[in-house]
Structure 1
Amino acid sequence: MLAGLPSHPPQHLLHEPVALSRALVPGDFEADSHSVAQALIGATLLVDGIGGVIVETEAYDREDPASHAYTGPTARNAAMFGPPGRAYVYRSYGIHWCLNFVCCEAGHGAGVLIRALQPTQGLDVMRERRGLHEDRLLCSGPGKLGQALAITHAMNGHRLDRAPFQVLARRADVDVDIVAGPRVGISKAVDVPWRFGLKGSRYLSRRFPA
């Protein structure tokens, strides 16, 4: 399973040697979505070697009216029903590709939206893809992240432990302080505090309520 959720103040996450982190495997994603969403804070996501530290996530479950899985499997959301440890990629507003990590047991229908990264690897490539220079804005939202990492629908259903993906667990010696709040843009249900972020990070898509 993924690492636990320490409550100590966050340590510096930049410039940590990637090789010292454990690569996540499908079994690491078998827990419920809100547990996985929290445990991914501080993990590293790379796509073809480009990416950084995950600083913001959102959890979705089949019992949640805001989830794509709520009405059951369709051609669009089939990847969300597993097996766990796969990518679920969908287009938002007909423009941006958004990346989700499938979790829970196969057939359940749950996932974690990767909302924001702290860029650490391949910043020049991300700047070119995004057409801007400011690091804070490269991956500060799921659509921005999808563009910066060149996410496409061809990655839908792809295993997260195989190229082009590399997902590395938060290092055991790195503690994080996680904050929670309502998800963004939810209109189909009374929302739950299933958006999670790294407290104090300047790379979040938006601030959390006080």
Structure 2
Amino acid sequence: MIGYIRVSDSKRADGESQREAIKAYAAKRGIQISDWIEEHVSATKTELSERKLSSLIISQQSIIVSDITRLGRHKVMELVGAIGQIASYGELHLAYNDTIINSENVDNAEIIFTVIGQSFASAVEAQKRSERAKAGHAKRKAKGLSSGRQKGQKVKSRLDEHTAFILNLLDTKTSKAEILRKLNERGVSITRSRFYSWLEDRGLHNKKAEFQTDMFQA
């Protein structure tokens, strides 16, 4: 079993959090990871054939990833094709979702649409962040202000790379206290207040799990 990590920017530290999530999942399942593949490329700027993932698929290796967005975010047919290819000879494990996709369930529309939906929810959120940042920069430039971060401006968070994981838990009515525990298990330690602030900044504070419920848990 191969642990596969993809980080869009070589300067970002998310590779380690992906690795820890995969390790925790493998330990829980009693899986031995024989090798690790990590690459620093953007899925939106490269074709699958240009990435190390393609070589893994060609060599017919079963793969563990932290979440489906590591395979891709934008190209629907490419993502579906990659999932299908892996399932045709082995298994694709999604650590955050505690899900295995193989030949027995790859034709299950609910499973496939759910994981692909997470990928594109993450992509949409990333695009929104980019658009907001560009709009803010243009506004400051038009006013002759510094392009540096202004007071009250949204800052990048390490939670951003875990958006798909968090959205999936919120959509399944997982309490926010439980989400914090699951994040901690995967090496992402963050305070309740910072987590709530992140949810509010990203417009996710009104998802199905309610703050009031969480205050009496954990």
Name the TM tier (shorter chain). Answer: under 0.3
Greater strand content: 1
If asked which structure has higher relative contact order (CA below 8 Å, sep 6+), I would say 1
* TM-score normalized by the length of structure 2: 0.23
